Amino acid sequence: MRRLLLAAVFACLCVSPATPQPRGLKVHISVDMEGIAGVVTGDQIGPQGFEYGRFREFMTKEALAAVAAAKEAGATEIVVADAHGNGENLLVEQFPPDVRIVRSWPRKLQMMGGIDQTFDAAVFIGYHASTTNPAGVRAHTFSSATLTKVTLNGVEMSEGSWNAAIAGHFSVPVVMASGDDAAIAEIRKVVGNVEGVETKKSLGFHSALTLTPQAVQGMIGPAVKAGLARRATLAPYKPQGPIVVDVTFKHYLPAEVLAYLPMFERSSAHSVRFRAKDMAEAASVMEFIGEYRPDLAP
């Protein structure tokens, strides 16, 4: 009882206006699927695939490993963005009740939906290499069907580095990424020496030497904690100067038609270039390019 009374006194002291409240730790976790342990083909990554049901379970468990580690490291708020396919892959009922989950598209900030300047760290789970990388399981940037290159201020982007730039817009550092060996190498080359969990070695676009789901789920927690512990030393990725984005399409027509809009310049037969005032605006333009169709309907 006496200890309780003392605790009450200290609690009162802590909330006095003269003493600022310690700020909570907010962590954003963006979860893709191609870099999840065991994923190699479309059989795992879409509702039509015969292994999809099991692999969305593995994807969820890798995300949950990151959530648990963030909480153990002191996270008071966690937002998880389902950033693959239809955006409806994560099994939402398996998450702790205080976690919030961003689902489905279209949405502002794309794979980083839900992040803002109040966050302290970003984590990438299940990421894959870019469309310009000859290595990497299911390597693509935003759309394997339509895009062959995305550059930001002349630097070839992977989804990891593009999303790191969105986090950087809000001064949030990426602290940890998981995915295949090619994805981790690309993120480190552009973004910096973040903690990494290599879930598999790419043997080709549709083949990998993979760790088991259980093995990777066990590795994610320590890496998230190590990244969060180092977060003050990891600089947010902030491309300098005005944002100039070049997007190259597989086919001529998207470039031709987008260039009717004054904000796009036809930089080559298959490419358009646009300028954005910041990464948030650039992300919205990319989301438009990926999502717009004249027959969009609810």
Q: Residues interacting with Zn ion, by CB under 5 A?
A: 32-34, 84
CA distance 257 to 274: 14
**Cβ count within 10 A of residue 79:** 20
State in angstroms the smallest separation of the CB of 272 from Zn ion: 23
Smallest gap, in angstroms, from Cβ of residue 103 to Zn ion?
14
Evaluate whether 100 touches 21 at the Cβ level (below 8 Å).
no
Nearer to Zn ion, 26 or 28 (CB): 28
Q: Residue with CB nearest Zn ion?
A: 84
Closer by beta carbon to Zn ion, 32 or else 120: 32
> Rounded to the nearest whole angstrom, what is the least distance from the CB of residue 102 to Zn ion in the complex?
15
- Do 140 and 130 touch, CB atoms closer than 8 A? yes
Q: Where are the beta strands (DSSP E) in 211-270?
A: 243-249, 264-268
Torsion of CA 253, 242, 163, 105, to 10 degrees: -50
Choose between 85 and 114: whose C-beta lies nearer to Zn ion.
85
Closer residue to Zn ion, CB minimum distance, 207 or 268: 207
> Which of 91, 259 has the CB closer to Zn ion?
91
* 19: DSSP letter: S
Contacts of 189 (CB under 8 A, 6+ apart): none
Tokens of 23: 């700020």
63: its two tokens: 């995300």
> Minimum distance between the CB of residue 43 and Zn ion, rounded to whole angstroms?
14
Tokens coding 188: 């480190």
φ/ψ of residue 123, rounded to 5: -125, 135
CA distance to 141, 156, 157, 272, per residue, from 248 (Å): 11, 11, 12, 7
Q: Sort strands 264-268 and 155-156 into parallel, antiparallel or unpaired.
A: unpaired
For Zn ion, the closer of residues 33 and 279 by Cβ is 33
Rounded to the nearest whole angstrom, what is the least distance from the CB of residue 124 to Zn ion in the complex? 11
CB of 56 to Zn ion, least distance (A): 12
Closer Cβ to Zn ion, 142 or 264, answer by number: 142
Is residue 209 within 8 Å of 158, Cβ to Cβ? Answer: no
- Minimum CB distance to Zn ion, residue 34 (Å): 5
